[in-house]
Amino acid sequence: MKKRLIFLFLLLFGLAGCTPLPEATMFVHYEYFGEAIPVNEFDYDLLSIIINNPDGSTEVVPLTESMLSAQDILALQEAGTHEIQITYMNFTDSITIALLPTQNEQTEAERIELAGKTLLEPSEETQITATVFPAECSQDVTWSVNNSLASISSTGLVKALGVGEVVIRATSVQTPAVYQELTITVQTQTIPVLEPYYQNAEGLSGTALKTALHQIIRGHQSYSYDFAKTALKETDEDPNNTNNVILFYTGRSQAKSAFGSSGNDWNREHVWAKSHGDFGETKPMGTDLHHLRPTDASVNSTRSNLDFDDGGTKVNDTYGAGSTFCYVDGDSFEPRDEVKGDVARIIFYMAVRYEGGISGEKDLEINDRVNNGANPYMGKASTLLAWNEQDPVDDFERNRNEVIFDYQNNRNPFIDHPEFADMIWGTVFSVSYEKASNYYQQIDLYMPNNKKSDYIFV
């Protein structure tokens, strides 16, 4: 009997060895298996471990970092496709997780800049381009026109249909409250007859025009730098409040009495930086009212002696109602949109008014650079020529020219005739000559002396 029991035990044991008992199994569940999600949306809660026991029961175990290697933990913090190994007790499994770059909230548009011809003939077409800032936001805009004198396509192609003024508007798709407008004049072009003040410039362009204008505006009545403070209270008076002046870079109306050097005072800004040529505050260059403007003292300090160009970070200050903003970077300053043309026309005036050869006067020239330092140059010329087109002369600028004419007995030709800028420098600094060629057929190539480059681009 005892031998039979031993035999039965060995038989059962042998059968058990041939047919092992069922074992538990593990697999990893991932909610986005086969899909890619942004890396900032990934979380360990999206993963779980499921244990299937031999008796048919199931256990669900949350995944924790302790089940991953240090290398895999770091990998899940970066975009990419990662093969992750997961270890739990004596179980091991792997899974593929695809992660996309972080999707931040879209940057809101702050402003739009428009560029293109602003003077057309009937049936003429021109392309208007829109640049939305900051650069990382969507560049998509919608286009509209305010009347039937022109049509505009979804890509900004304008076609003139009648004679008169039309306003083109580009609106940010991402931030509909942000838009910019550009006024286009449609007219049949004729050769203009210049008023008597400019009669010696009639029919000229290029170097000849620049020389003729210099002869017309040179030798003006000059005043002390201290007197300029008094004159600016009249030249830049707020038309809506005679006790205030309009600050150039911020558009803010400020009390005339608030002259000083503290942050919110106003002071005298040399738009052509006085260090560019090192003429300081001496007559006539340092006191010429055409390039002195009342400016918020802190913004004046921020601009310092930088050249002008597009781009940079916003200059934080108190701006006038409805004003756009100034921007600055390491080598240039971008004024608010409303005075970009004013800046350009001031710089053009200085480059024509001062040709050297007279005691106390330097030869000032524009060039297509920034970082001009103490050299008698200001840039960036191609940007200034574009600003001259983008921001037309307004009534404030015209009135200022008249007031200064009463003081100095000379005018800024580029306020009276903005087209003169293209006619002098348009072929030098890679700016379209189309507008100037509508008026004159003669083209002279002007290349100032003592430039830092032997090349021009046409």
pLDDT confidence bin for 366, thresholds 50/70/90: very high
User: For residue 433, what pLDDT band results from cuts at 50, 70 and 90?
Assistant: very low
Q: Residue 444: pLDDT above 50?
A: no
Least confidently predicted of 128-137, 193-202, 243-252, 447-456: 447-456
If you average pLDDT over residues 348-363, what whole number do you get? 93
User: Across residues 280-303, what is the average pLDDT?
Assistant: 96
Provide the pLDDT confidence category of residue 57 given band limits of 50, 70 and 90. Answer: confident
Residue 293 has pLDDT above 90, yes or no: yes
DSSP per-residue codes, 134-177: STTS---EEEEESSTTEEE-TT-EEEE-SSEEEEEEEEESS-TT
Q: What's the chain's average pLDDT?
A: 86
Q: Has residue 11 got a pLDDT over 50?
A: no
Structure confidence at residue 106 (pLDDT): 61
How far apart are the C-alpha atoms of 8 and 14, rounded to whole Å? 10
CA distance 64 to 169: 55
Whole-number pLDDT of residue 80: 84
Burial of 91 (0-12, 13-18, 19+ CB in 10 A): middle
Q: Give the mean pLDDT of 340-348.
A: 98
pTM, rounded to two decimals: 0.56
Tokens 């993963």 sit at which residue? Answer: 47
pLDDT at residue number 388: 96
Q: How far apart are the first and last CA of the chain?
A: 117
pLDDT in the model for residue 179: 94
Q: Is the pLDDT of residue 374 over 60?
A: yes
Q: 24-53 pLDDT, tens per residue?
A: 888 888 888 878 888 888 888 888 888 888
The pLDDT, as a whole number, for residue 174 is 84
Q: Which pLDDT does position 345 carry in this prediction?
A: 98
Mean pLDDT, residues 79-103: 85
Please say if the pLDDT value at position 334 is more than 90: yes
Instruction: Evaluate if residue 451 carries a pLDDT over 50.
Output: no
Question: What pLDDT, in 10s, does the model give residues 13-22?
Answer: 454 444 555 7
Percent of the chain with pLDDT strictly greater than 70:
87
Angle among Cα 432, 433, 435 to the nearest 5 degrees reads 105
d(CA 310, CA 304): 16
Structure tokens at 64: 């924790």
Structure confidence at residue 434 (pLDDT):
36
Does 452 or 152 have the greater pLDDT score? 152
Tell me which fold the domain 22-100 belongs to. Immunoglobulin-like (2.60.40)
Task: Kindly state the tokens that stand for 296.
Answer: 């918020």
DSSP SS3 for 456: coil
What integer pLDDT is reported at residue 153 of this predicted model?
A: 94
User: Alpha-carbon torsion 318, 270, 290, 276, what sign?
Assistant: negative
Can you read off the two tokens belonging to residue 329? 């970077």
Taking the C-alpha atoms of residue 418 and residue 400, their distance in angstroms, rounded to an integer, is 15
- pLDDT (tens digit, 9 = 90+) per residue, 407-425? 999 999 999 999 999 999 9
Q: Percent of the chain beyond pLDDT 90?
A: 58
Domain boundaries, the chain: 22-100, 111-186, 196-437
The encoded tokens of residue 106 equal 């879209």
Most confident of 48-52, 82-86, 380-384, 435-439: 380-384
Q: Do domains 22-100 and 111-186 have the same CATH topology?
A: yes
Q: If pLDDT is split at 50, 70 and 90, which confidence band does 305 have? A: very high
Fold (CATH) for 111-186: Immunoglobulin-like (2.60.40)
Higher per-residue pLDDT: 410 or 1: 410
Most confident of 161-175, 407-421, 442-456: 407-421
Quickly state the pLDDT bin for 137 (edges 50, 70, 90). Answer: confident
Residue-wise pLDDT for 248-280, tens only, equals 999 999 999 999 988 789 999 999 999 999 999
Name the H helices within 361-458. Answer: 381-390, 395-408, 413-416, 419-425, 434-437
Distances (CA, A) of 430 to 209, 367, 455: 19, 11, 12
Contact at 8 Å (CB) between 275 and 305? yes
Structure confidence by residue, pLDDT tens digits, 376-385: 999 999 999 9
